[in-house]
Amino acid sequence: MAEYRAPLADLQFALNDVADLAAVSGSNGATPELVDQVLDEAGRFASEVLAPLNRSGDLSGARIENGVVRVPDGFAEAYGRFVDGGWNAVCGPTTWGGQGLPWVVSTALNEIWQSANMSLANCMMLTQGAVELLSHHGTEAQKRTYLPKLISGEWSGTMNLTEPHAGSDLGRLQTRAEGANGAWRLRGQKIFITFGDHDMCDNIVHLVLGRLPDAPPGVRGISLFLVSKRDILEDGSLGAHNDVRVNSLEHKLGQMGSPTCVLMYGDDEGARAELVGEPHGGLKTMFTMMNHARLNVGIQGVAIAERAYQQAVEYARARVQGSPIEEPRAAAVEIIRHPDVRRMIMDMKAKTEAARALAIVTAEALDRARAHPDAEVQERSALRAEILVPIMKGWGTDQGVDVASTALQVHGGMGYIEETGAAQHYRDARILPIYEGTNGIQALDMLRRKLQLADGQPFRELISDIKGAAADLAESPGEELPAIGRHLAQAAAAADEAGAWLAGTYKDDPCAAAAGATPFLTLLGFTAGGWTMGRAALRAAKRIGGGDTDPFLATKIQTARYFAEMHLPTAAALTGPIQAAHHTVDAAVAA
């Protein structure tokens, strides 16, 4: 498996040129210069400490011994170094020991951790989500008890939604609380709980969806509970184990080092639990953590794409096979000399960079929603993030799978052999379109909620911004930027048309609209990706015009043009399938 090198130049460009790091940093001291230093050190730590364990963790996997989950060799030590280095606290609120850096910085760092070792980084990602949820919805006592330990990484966090009989249909969940006046005992079973147990730290904070005794049926009756793996005594030390245990570990396709647990709550006296947020308001409360997780899973798509891309490039530069097409009698050359291999490499690069920039732009919207001094900008930014999160999760993870698959193709037959490591990237990526609400659910969310949000104004504003960028590109001098602008304008017009058709159709025939929801999300993903690449090209051209001779900038423009010419025409053509899908999809039931 190739060594991992953090893509620092592109991360820095996305933060400072596509987004505006300086504008969202506020008063927390996260200057671009400081962030550059943070990213440099993160890249070194990821390459030296986390990445070397990626392959060995895949081979050995997590295991369960006498009811205790053991992570692969080296994981606990690496996690300890991660925590000791303060990395877990980067974006936590300063009130409880965090460093308070903006989400754009967290997004860049999360990509680095996930690229280096996705199985291990899952633990940190979920803990970060637990911090976000309790920061917004916990009582003062809960914040005081749990946030310092979660932010430091001394404890980790989980998210418990799924049950065997109720996958994404959370209205059917049966986990129940017994008791009264806050003395709750939880009983039930949860499956697919990532890092539901492990031996890297002393305590785990489980955030669990369940029902109170007087709960109404369906999603209106869901409450959120906090279950600590171990009792917390008055002096803050840990006491006896709570009534929660690991029943088994799931046998998975990939991410072998990340333990995915079946958890049993209340086999004996019942798991001691605290209510988080309002009674019967658990699903709304949990969405704070779920939306955080959805963005981060989209970042996982970027991360695995980057890792697969790096390995494919290294292999293509080293593998000698076949004469160059322009000199058929010449000696064999490195396969990166062959046009189709170069096409695959450029395709991987373009999709990865587009998804990365989109992730950073989404995080920038979250930062503005959280901390901008103008309340109107906060509100508009929050609505922009609402639109972008399902796009980033759905399209970003699809691209992660696609790029990992292309990496196998670059390796040829050797890609299908486990020893090269290329297959691991594909196996690790394949869960991402399923995690945290399948991409079909993200598409339905876009159709049913996000298109209708605030009478459709946030969607129209996004399309307007994309069309504005297309116009700026079209009016630029030369050949390359106008070419990008033409294709981006066509994709934006197609997304506008498709969105209007879906919004109108959904009112009268929701099934017909739902049949086109997934291709619509794909159209939005490529269009938004083209938008971020177009912004990148504009900024690169401006810097070149100002005398910057960094070859990275010319390459960025070429990559943006490739993305526009190769993918935006196909995306724009999806308007037909979006509107036609309902004519035939019902035939699948008859079959």
Q: Give the DSSP letter string of 565-588.
A: HHHHHHHHTTHHHHHHGGGTTTHH
pLDDT at site 26: 65
Pairing outcome for strands 176-180 and 183-194: antiparallel
Helix axes 517-545, 339-371, angle to 10 degrees: 90
Structure-token pair, residue 391: 């796009």
pLDDT at site 221: 93
pLDDT at site 34: 92
From the CA atom positions of the chain, what is the Rg in Å?
24
Pairing outcome for strands 176-180 and 63-65: unpaired
Residue 166: pLDDT over 90: no
Within 8 A by CB and 6+ apart from 541, the residues are 476, 478, 481, 553, 557
Question: What pTM was computed for the model?
Answer: 0.96
212 by Cβ neighbours in 10 Å (0-12 / 13-18 / 19+) ranks as: buried
Helix axes 517-545, 457-474, angle to 10 degrees: 40
> How many C-alpha atoms does 506 have within 13 Å on its Cβ side?
19
How far apart, in Å, are the Cα atoms of 143 and each of 89, 160, 239, 487? 15, 19, 19, 49
pLDDT at site 165: 84
Question: For residue 526, what pLDDT band results from cuts at 50, 70 and 90?
Answer: very high
Pairing outcome for strands 155-160 and 203-210: parallel
**Average pLDDT of 3-11?**
97
Question: For residue 87, what pLDDT band results from cuts at 50, 70 and 90?
Answer: very high
Structure-token pair, residue 226: 């906090």
Structure-token pair, residue 293: 């997780």
Rounded Cα distance between 327 and 337, Å, is 12
pLDDT in tens, 201-216: 999 999 999 999 999 9
DSSP annotation of 334 reads B
Q: Which of 44-53, 60-69, 172-181, 541-550 has the lowest mean pLDDT?
A: 172-181
Within 8 A by CB and 6+ apart from 340, the residues are none
Rounded Cα distance between 8 and 127, Å, is 25
- Strand locations in 277-344 (E): none
pLDDT at site 439: 97
**Average pLDDT of 147-169?**
92
pLDDT in tens, 266-310: 999 999 999 999 999 998 888 877 778 899 999 999 999 999 999
**Average pLDDT of 472-486?**
97
**Average pLDDT of 505-533?**
97
Task: Name which of 6, 227, 240, 13 is nearest 104 in CA terms.
Answer: 13
Rounded Cα distance between 420 and 443, Å, is 35
Helix (H, G, I), strand (E, B) or coil at 210: strand
**Beta partners for 156?**
204
**Average pLDDT of 431-449?**
96
CA dihedral 104, 130, 116, 316 (to 10 degrees): -70
Task: Name which of 430, 416, 486 is nearest 300 in CA terms.
Answer: 430
Phi, psi of 535, deg, nearest 5 = -60, -40
Within 8 A by CB and 6+ apart from 113, the residues are 42, 46, 50, 87, 120, 121, 124, 125, 303
Residue 577: pLDDT over 70: yes
Task: Name which of 430, 447, 433, 423 is nearest 501 in CA terms.
Answer: 447
Rounded Cα distance between 531 and 412, Å, is 33
**Average pLDDT of 507-513?**
96
pLDDT at site 182: 80
**Average pLDDT of 391-395?**
98
Question: For residue 126, what pLDDT band results from cuts at 50, 70 and 90?
Answer: very high
Is the CB of residue 402 less than 8 Å from the CB of residue 425?
Answer: no
Rounded Cα distance between 212 and 29, Å, is 44
pLDDT in tens, 34-58: 999 999 999 999 999 999 999 999 9
**Beta partners for 180?**
183
Phi, psi of 232, deg, nearest 5 = -110, 120
Structure-token pair, residue 291: 């939306």
Q: Which of 15-19, 131-135, 178-182, 581-585 has the lowest mean pLDDT?
A: 178-182
Q: Which of 128-142, 173-187, 245-259 has the lowest mean pLDDT?
A: 173-187
Rounded Cα distance between 200 and 75, Å, is 8
Q: Which of 63-67, 483-487, 501-505, 572-576 has the lowest mean pLDDT?
A: 63-67
pLDDT at site 590: 61
Structure-token pair, residue 22: 């300086």
Q: Give the active site residues.
A: 436
Residue corresponding to tokens 């999809």 = 585
pLDDT at site 591: 53
**Average pLDDT of 395-417?**
98
pLDDT at site 371: 87
Residues in the chain: 591
Is the CB of residue 215 less than 8 Å from the CB of residue 226?
Answer: no
Please count the other Cβ atoms lying within 10 Å of the Cβ belonging to residue 169.
12
Residue 30: pLDDT over 90: no
pLDDT at site 562: 98
How far apart, in Å, are the Cα atoms of 504 and each of 227, 465, 498? 44, 22, 10
Within 8 A by CB and 6+ apart from 459, the residues are 387, 450, 451, 453, 499
Averaged pLDDT of the chain: 95
Task: Name which of 272, 439, 297, 287 is nearest 355 in CA terms.
Answer: 297
Is the CB of residue 102 less than 8 Å from the CB of residue 24?
Answer: yes
